[in-house]
Amino acid sequence: MAHHILSPKWGRYYVGPIQMAVCYGVVIANALLGGQCLKAMYLVVQPNGEMKLFEFVIIFGCLLLVLAQFPSFHSLRYINSLSLLLCLLYSASAAAASIYIGKEPNAPEKDYTIVGDPETRVFGIFNAMAIIATTYGNGIIPEIQATISAPVKGKMMKGLCMCYLVVIMTFFTVAITGYWAFGKKANGLIFTNFLNAETNHYFVPTWFIFLVNLFTVLQLSAVAVVYLQPINDILESVISDPTKKEFSIRNVIPRLVVRSLFVVMATIVAAMLPFFGDVNSLLGAFGFIPLDFVLPVVFFNFTFKPSKKSFIFWINTVIAVVFSCLGVIAMVAAVRQIIIDANTYKLFADV
């Protein structure tokens, strides 16, 4: 759309790089989360185990290395279906466990006060906005898929409504119940709150912890390979030979090398910088805010050219300006938080 509506340069040098950065950022974030979940499963079996987080990130990266070899989006259709089921399962499990723990007599003390000085609070607000943008940004996938066949407008609306329904059932259900149960101590990965830090015992049965983390690992691996696929498609359009068959040696070897290289790089970055919340907010600020909130209204004004005296022109212009400013501020806030955390944690930290 940017290529045809704005110009080929906008598509190639602005929108394209942002899309690819978002896709690769999601792969890195999922590798980190997958490693955290594997570590949680390990600690259920070996409470005094000595393995470090980066080792589990590498193990998860090995799983991605295998799944990344699926040749196309079409070949991922069953993984996508399983991903949705797993997402619903672990979200329901996390919400149910949070409610159960919150009602227990020995439940953690609920403190909803906002910590930090005024500067930290302000930057925290913009960080949160970027994370919310990342959450809602997932809606861009069913919207794009809906434009493949007519009627585009009706299918896009159905896809968007379905996406928001899933977001409410998963992200928001977990966020609300988790914050209610743990207050300001709620972590980015809510499962880590299920461990009582004082007694070093879980608030829920250990088999439940193991199972819900297993659901999460499998779902994260599916999401990672889906977001890796656009990068693969673009690179393979350059390195592959379209006159040869898909599974010919000429096409299989370059595909294996390039995909493996990108998975290895993502795994190394995830192991080095275990700051999931910071990565999430940076993704939202840099990628999802411009893609979801700025470009669509700009495209509308350029395509339909509403009168400059009309309400729709000015509301679109205001939305574009406000969210452009918000994206810049949120990016500064995300980078600031990464710098703060980098001073707290070392590379390959075991968090």
pLDDT tens by residue, 29-45: 899 889 989 998 998 88
Q: Which residues pair with 201 in a beta bridge?
A: 196
**Predicted TM-score (pTM) of this structure:** 0.81
CA 94 to chain centre: 18
**What is the three-class DSSP state of 345?**
coil
CA distances from 46 to 37, 41, 132 (A): 14, 9, 35
What pLDDT, on a 0 to 100 scale, did the predictor assign at position 345? 67
Q: How confident is the model at residue 223 (pLDDT cuts 50, 70, 90)?
A: confident
Alpha helices in 273-294 (DSSP H): 276-283, 289
Q: What percent of the chain has pLDDT over 70?
A: 92
202 bridge partner residues: 195
For residue 195, what are the β-bridge partners?
Answer: 202
Q: Which pLDDT band holds residue 277 (cuts at 50, 70, 90)?
A: low
Tell me the C-alpha distance between 19 and 225, whole Å.
Answer: 15
The mean of the pLDDT values for the chain is 84
Ramachandran class of 242: left when φ > 0, alpha when ψ lies in -120 to 50, beta otherwise: alpha
The pLDDT tens digits for 163-195 are 788 888 888 899 999 999 999 888 877 888 898
- What CA dihedral angle connects 233, 235, 238 and 244, to 10 degrees? -50
Lowest mean pLDDT among 120-124, 177-181, 341-345: 341-345
Asked if pLDDT for residue 106 goes beyond 70, the answer is yes
pLDDT over 90 at 254, yes or no: no
User: Does residue 106 or residue 173 have the better pLDDT?
Assistant: 173
> Which of 197, 204, 217, 276 shows the shortest CA–CA distance to 42?
217
Looking at per-residue pLDDT, the higher value among 171 and 139 belongs to: 171
Among 258, 267, 245, 217, residue whose Cα is nearest residue 69: 258
Residue 89 and residue 96: Cα distance in Å, rounded? Answer: 11
Q: Give the pLDDT mean for 106-128.
A: 84
Angle between helices 249-272 and 16-45 (to 10 degrees): 70
* pLDDT recorded at residue 147: 60
Q: Is the pLDDT of residue 136 over 80?
A: no
CATH superfamily of the 1-344 domain: Amino acid/polyamine transporter I (1.20.1740.10)
pLDDT at residue 296, rounded to an integer? 87
Model confidence over 48-72: pLDDT tens digits? 888 888 899 999 999 999 988 887 7
Domain ranges of the chain: 1-344
Grade residue 109 by pLDDT with cuts at 50, 70 and 90.
confident
The per-residue pLDDT for 114 is 83
Can you give the pLDDT at residue 250?
Answer: 81
Burial class (CB in 10 A: 0-12, 13-18, 19+), 313: middle
